[in-house]
């Protein structure tokens, strides 16, 4: 149901936007409890601040805006508890890609469709979500901050307490290479 401008109806928020916001948070936080918490905080903050809702954007856009802040707060808090700099040796889906001479062990598989067509396919999106979910949690978080939230490298480093953009570059590479390899298995290389 579409709400009129300036006519907020908090009773229907959970029903109309709850699932959407939860999914939004989950794809970025990769943690169910954290996603639930940030969504809950979002609704509470929205309720408190509902007089500030100007009706220029849709209710959903407004709620997402609040949720984004809550997600950033979560990262800020959790980066104090978990050092991304210690990650180096922990999780690396890219570790088996190359031999000792820096050559591909298994060569990347070319797309079998035009990239534009690929993005129109339901199966691709299923594989995309499944592959993001199968990434190590911290890599998925970094990938989401960069590619979904569009943060710059320096911003991500500040947010998560990563020591250098070079270090972040290593992590971005692992995330992307891991995703590409996963999509190869689940999508690129598959015959129709």
Partner 1 sequence: MITCEEAARLISDSLDRKLPLRQRVALRMHLLMCKFCPTFRQQLILLRDAASRYREEAYTPP
* Positions in 73-132 near partner 1 (CB under 8 A): 97-98, 101-104, 107-111, 115, 118-122, 124-125, 128
Bridge partner list, 104: 98
| Least distance in angstroms from the C-beta of 69 to partner 1 | 17
Nearer to partner 1 by Cβ, of 45 and 109: the residue is 109
Work out the angle between the directed axes of helices 13-29 and 59-81 (0-180°, nearest 10). Answer: 40
Which of 66, 65, 47 minimizes the C-alpha distance to 8? 47
Contact with partner 1 (CB under 8 A) among 11, 15, 80, 150:
150
Distance of CA 90 to the CA centre of its chain: 20
72 counts as binding partner 1 under rule CB under 8 A? no
- Pairwise CA distance, residues 109 & 131, whole Å: 16
Contact 123, 187 (CB under 8 A): yes
184 counts as binding partner 1 under rule CB under 8 A? yes
23 counts as binding partner 1 under rule CB under 8 A? yes
Bridge partner list, 98: 104
| Least distance in angstroms from the C-beta of 51 to partner 1 | 26
Nearer to partner 1 by Cβ, of 48 and 150: the residue is 150
Angle at 139 between CA 24 and CA 168, to 5 degrees: 115
22 counts as binding partner 1 under rule CB under 8 A? no
**Count residues contacting partner 1 (CB under 8 A)?**
44
Is residue 104 classed as helix, strand or coil in its secondary structure? strand
Residues near partner 1 (CB under 8 A) are 20, 23-24, 64, 97-98, 101-104, 107-111, 115, 118-122, 124-125, 128, 143, 146-150, 153, 165, 168-170, 172-173, 176-177, 179-180, 183-184, 188
């Amino acid at each position: 149901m579409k709400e009129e401008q300036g006519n907020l109806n908090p009773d229907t928020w959970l029903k109309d936007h709850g699932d959407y916001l939860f999914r939004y948070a989950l794809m970025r936080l990769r943690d169910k409890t954290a996603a639930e918490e940030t969504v809950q905080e979002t609704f509470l903050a929205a309720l408190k601040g509902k007089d500030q809702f100007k009706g220029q954007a849709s209710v959903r856009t407004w709620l997402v805006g609040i949720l984004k802040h809550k997600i950033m707060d979560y990262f800020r808090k959790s980066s104090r508890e978990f050092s991304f700099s210690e990650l180096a040796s922990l999780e690396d889906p890219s570790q088996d890609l190359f031999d000792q001479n820096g050559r591909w062990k298994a060569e990347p598989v070319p797309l079998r469709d035009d990239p534009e067509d690929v993005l129109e396919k339901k199966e691709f999106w299923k594989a995309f979500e499944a592959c993001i979910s199968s990434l190590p949690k911290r890599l998925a978080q970094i990938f989401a901050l960069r590619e979904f939230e569009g943060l710059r490298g320096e911003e991500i480093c500040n947010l998560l307490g990563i020591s250098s953009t070079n270090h972040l570059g290593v992590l971005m590479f692992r995330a992307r290479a891991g995703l590409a390899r996963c999509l190869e298995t689940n999508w690129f290389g598959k015959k129709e």
